[in-house]
Every structure is written in C-alpha cells, then in structure tokens.
Homo-oligomer: A and B are copies of this chain.
C-alpha cells in the first residue's frame, strides 16, 4: 500500500492535492495543526509540526511510505523575512529524519523559485546559482541542500518542486490575485503597481497535480513547477478587471513596485515537461475559474 503523509494539507496547495492522491490510490494521512474536517476518503491528524515529540508519535503511528511536505510559514508579506522560517527549516530537517527512521521511502516537498539568484531572469535547475536574497529562499534552499546530501544515506528517494507564482481558489487574502478579485467584487477601489514586472504564474490545481505526479514518480532532485511563460502583472490585473466587469476601479501605479524587485522571473520547464506534465489551465481559463469561485463564495 502507498501510504502518504501530507503536511500543510489544509493549505493552498495541500487541499488541492488531496483528491489527486486519493485518485492515484494512496492511503492519505493529512496533517493539520488545528481543527480537522471530517472526511471519508482520508484520515486527518491534528499535529503541530514544530513539536518534535508530536511529530515522532505521528510518524510512529502512521508509518508513511510517502511524504508530501507542503507545510511552511506562509503568512502573506511577512513570510519573506519572518524568523519563523528558521523554525520550519528545523522542523523539516527533523521530519525528514523521522520519516526515514520510520520506514519512509519517497518524498516530494515544496521548494521555491526564491531559492535562485534573482539577478537571472530565466531560472533553470541545472545552471542558475542558488544564492537566495530572502530569508525564506535561504531557508528553503538550506533544507534542500541538506536533503540532497543525505537522501541516499537515509535510503530516501526525493523530489523538490520549486514553486513559482500561484493563484486560484482558496488563496489567502493579502496576495495579488486574491486581493484584486475580492476588492473588485466588493466594489472597492484597488491600488496596484504599474505592473510592469513579468512573472511566471501557474494555477494552484496544476501546481498540486505536478507535485502529486512528482511524488508518485521517480524523478530525483529539484524541478521547477512553473508554466514556462511570463506575463506582466498588469495583464493579470486587467484580465480580472474584465472578468469582474469592474476595470474602472483599478488604480494602476498607486503602489510603488517593491524596491529591487526583478523585472522578469520565469521558470525553465524542460525537466517538468520531460516528465510528461502539461498544465490544464492557461492564464485566461484559470483566472476565469478563480473569479467564478470567488463569486460563488460571495453568494454562499
């Protein structure tokens, strides 16, 4: 039996990954820190991943063969430089040790495009230096480097999906797409930057599909989970304006571009594509689906 422990299971990517894992025949054990939704097809475990003893007890009970590790400190805005990044780096190193010690074999984890040196525009696994500028990127990269060195020794097979820019249903507020949609649907004016920066966006369901495929495959090492194409942030905002019919509420240039923010970031997707992965959503369809989800939510 393939028995997977999913951390961050109630999070943005995590919740989208659960049905995909069930589809692939996994016995799914989902970890959340707080309240636990009832679910027939999977088992939820309440566990604070920062508590070593609780994690040890959980691993001893579940004895997962697979680990999909998505949990991290993710409060919008503050996650870039929050000291909690150290806690999650430490917790991840110990989780990996414990997973291996309890018979674990295969892990996939969420890395980040922030691990790369952002003075490069096209970020490629084999060639772009990993010299992160942020604490978040540094902590993710630190964990990745340690796992890379220890995996064989622990008898682990591992893949590290570097996530780029995500959007989709259930995104937390305080992020670009969620805030623009929620603001416009509520009829508020929305302040954004000029939006000249170009980014690589992928719908969260495609991100979850890629990570689940990675976990279920044999690829070893880091791999970009990205669309391979860039779009100016302004185009995304304008598309949401059109979809909501409230483009006139958008104040472009009312916010400054973040200081030092790179002009362009795009993920090389050669590795991902070679595994047979194709996104289901292009940006137009993905944003339409996301706006529809927010509309439904407002009605509910």
Contact of A143 among B85, B91, B100, B142 (CB under 8 A): B142
Residue A62 is within 8 A (CB to CB) of chain B in the complex: no
Closest chain B CB from A172 CB (angstroms): 22
Residue A86 contacts which of B96, B135, B138 (CB distance < 8 angstroms)?
A: B96
Partner of A135, one of B89, B96, B146: B146
Nearest residue (CB) in B for A143 is B142
In the complex, A127 has a CB within 8 A of chain B: no
Structural contact, B150 and A146, CB atoms closer than 8 A: no
Contact of A90 (CB < 8 Å), options: B93, B134, B149: B93
> Shortest CB–CB separation between residue A9 and chain B, in angstroms?
22
Count the copies. 2
Which residues of A (95-124) have their CB < 8 Å from a CB of B?
Answer: 96-97, 100
Can you name the residue of chain B whose Cβ is closest to the Cβ of A52? B52
Kindly state whether residue A139 has any CB partner on chain B within 8 Å: yes
Minimum Cβ distance to chain B for residue A255 (Å): 24
| A-B contacts, 12 listed (Cβ < 8 Å) | A83-B100, A83-B153, A86-B94, A86-B146, A87-B93, A87-B94, A135-B146, A135-B150, A138-B148, A139-B149, A141-B142, A142-B146
